[in-house]
A and B are shown apart, each in its own frame.
Chain A
Amino acid sequence: MNAMSHNQAGNAYNFGFLDEYAKKEVRRAILKAIAIPGYQVPYASREMPMGRGFGTGGLQLTLSLIGPNEVVKVIDQGSDDSVNAVNLRRFIEMTCPGVSTTTATAECTLIQSRHRIPELPLTARQILVLQVPYPDPLVVVEPSEDKRKTMHGEADYSRLLVKLYEDIVKFGEITISHRYPTRINGHYVIDPSPIPRWDVPKLNDSAALILFGAGREKKIYAVPPHTKAEPLAFSDVPFRVEDFRDEQGRRRACARCGCVDSFLDEFVTDSGSKTYQCSDSDWCDMQLSKARQTQGEPA
C-alpha cells in the first residue's frame, strides 16, 4: 500500500469515500487536464453511491481534491438548497470528517456546481468544479468518438461552425441557450457544461481554476486560470448573453432583492403572471442584506 488511507474512528469509509488508488487516477487526469487546456482526459470513473448523471463526475473531482481544512460550497442551478446540492453536500459532510460547508461564495475554497458559475467573481484561492452531462461539443455533428478525437486534435471545428451557421440561416441568430461551445486557449473547443450563456464570459481570464467532470462519459477537462476562453461566433454575428429587458426595454429586476445585473430565473405565480428572481441564491441574499443595511434595517 503506497498511500496509507486515513480512516477515522466511527467512519467506515476512507476520507473522501474514494480509495487512495481511485484518487490517484483522478489526480493524474486532473494534472494532465490542466496542462492541456480544454482537452478531455479519459479516466477510470468509479461507481459512486448515486446514479450516473447526478454529479458523480464532479463529485469524484471534489473528493480527490478535498482536504480536512476545506470549506466547500455545493450549488445546483445557483441554489444551495435544491435537492442535488443538498444531497451532495450531505454526502461530502458524511465522508469527509472535518470539512466545513458553507453557502457563502466568498468564504469557500472549493465549489461544486451544477449548471451555474456564481455571480460573485471567483478568486485565485478558489477552485470551481462543474458537473458535466455531455462533455463533447462535437457529438452533435459526429457520432464516432474516434473521429471526434482526431477532429479535436486537429482543432477541426468546421462542422460545428456550419451547425451554428445553419442556426443563423433558420432563426437569424445562434439559438444555443446553454452548453455554448467555447474555444479554450485558441485550440480545443469545450462543452462548458449546461451553464447559461450568461456564465460563458466568466470562463475567460478567470482568476480561479475551473475543472469539469463527466462521470458517465468518463472525462475530465479544465480551464486553467488566466486562460483565453472564446465562445464560438462569427464576426458579423457576435456572441451575446441572455437579454433580460422587458417589452419597454427596461432591465428586469429580481423580485426579491431588486438586483438588475444578475442572471434571473423566471417563475410563474399562482395568478399566472411571470416574476423574476436571481438564480444565484447566495448573491440574492447578499444583495438583500446590502439593501437592508442601506435602509438602516437589520441585515
Chain B
Amino acid sequence: MNVEPIWQADVQQRVFRELVEAFSRPGDIREIGDCIDGAAAQRAVLATLMDGEMTLADPHGQIEPADWPLLQAKPESVERARYIVADGHRAPDFQPMLGSLESPEFGATILVGIDGVGEGALTLELEGPGVNGRRTLCLAGLHPDWLVRRADWVGSFPLGVDLLFSDARCLVALPRTTHIRISGKAF
C-alpha cells in the first residue's frame, strides 16, 4: 500500500516538532517542505493534528473533498470550530471562537494560507513570550484586515486565537500572546 507521507506517523511526528518550535518561538520560520514530499504545508499540519475528536471549519473551501474522510475531523461552522482553515488573501469575514476565561484553550487555531512566509512587503515586528527581545517577520499575500481583526480577537488575554501562517513549504506561528507592530504602530 502506497501511503502519502503526510499520513504516516513518523512524518507527522516531525511536522509536530516543527509546530512545537513554531509556537514556542513566534516569528521563527520552520521549513517542513523536505519531510512532506511536495504536499502543501497546511495540509500536512491538518493531517498531523486532526482526528475524529476535533471540529474543523473551512469557510473558504481550502480543503479538497477527498481529504475530509482521511482527516476524520467533524465539519463545524466557523463560529464554533476549534480549528479553522482560511485563505489569507481574503479578509476574515467571520468571528472565531475566542474561548472563555475558564477555558481559553477553546480559542480557535486558525491556519492561514498565504503566498510567502519570510518574504513580501508586509514587515511585522514581534515581541512577547518566545521572542528573545524583538524579531521581524515578512509575509506576502496577507489581506491587511487580518491583523486588525486579530488585534480585536486577542485583546483580552487569555481569550484569543492562535494563528499559523503557511505557504507551500514553511510555517510560522503567531500565538495570542505575541505583540505585533508595523512601522511602530501596534496591532
**What total count of A-B pairs have CB within 8 Å?**
126
Contact, CB under 8 Å: A68 / B10: yes
A209 to B173 alpha-carbon distance, docked (Å):
15
Give the nearest-CB partner of A28 in chain B.
B49
Contact, CB under 8 Å: B101 / A150: yes
Q: Per-position contact with A for B58-71: 1 when CB-CB < 8 Å, else 0?
A: 00000000000011
Contact, CB under 8 Å: B129 / A227: yes
Q: Is B125 located at the chain interface by the 8 A CB criterion?
A: no
Q: Is B34 located at the chain interface by the 8 A CB criterion?
A: no
A65 to B48 alpha-carbon distance, docked (Å):
12
Q: A2-B70, A36-B158, A187-B158 are in contact. Are A67 and B102 (CB under 8 A)?
A: no
A15 to B25 alpha-carbon distance, docked (Å):
28
Number of interface residues of B (CB under 8 A): 43
Nearest CB in chain A: distance from B71 CB, A: 6
Q: Is B90 located at the chain interface by the 8 A CB criterion?
A: no
Q: Per-position contact with B for A27-49: 1 when CB-CB < 8 Å, else 0?
A: 11111101111010110000000
Give the nearest-CB partner of B133 in chain A.
A226
Residues in B with CB closer than 8 Å to A28 are 49, 54
A42 to B132 alpha-carbon distance, docked (Å):
28
Q: Is A14 located at the chain interface by the 8 A CB criterion?
A: yes
Contact, CB under 8 Å: A34 / B23: yes
Please give the residue numbers on chain A whose beta carbons come within 8 Å of chain B beta carbons, in ascending order. 2-6, 14-15, 20-21, 23-25, 27-32, 34-37, 39, 41-42, 64-68, 124, 127, 146, 149-150, 152-154, 185, 187-188, 209, 224-228
In the complex, 15 of the A-B residue pairs with CB atoms within 8 angstroms, ordered by the A residue number, are A15-B9, A20-B12, A25-B51, A28-B49, A31-B20, A34-B23, A35-B176, A35-B177, A36-B104, A67-B10, A150-B102, A154-B101, A188-B158, A224-B129, A224-B130
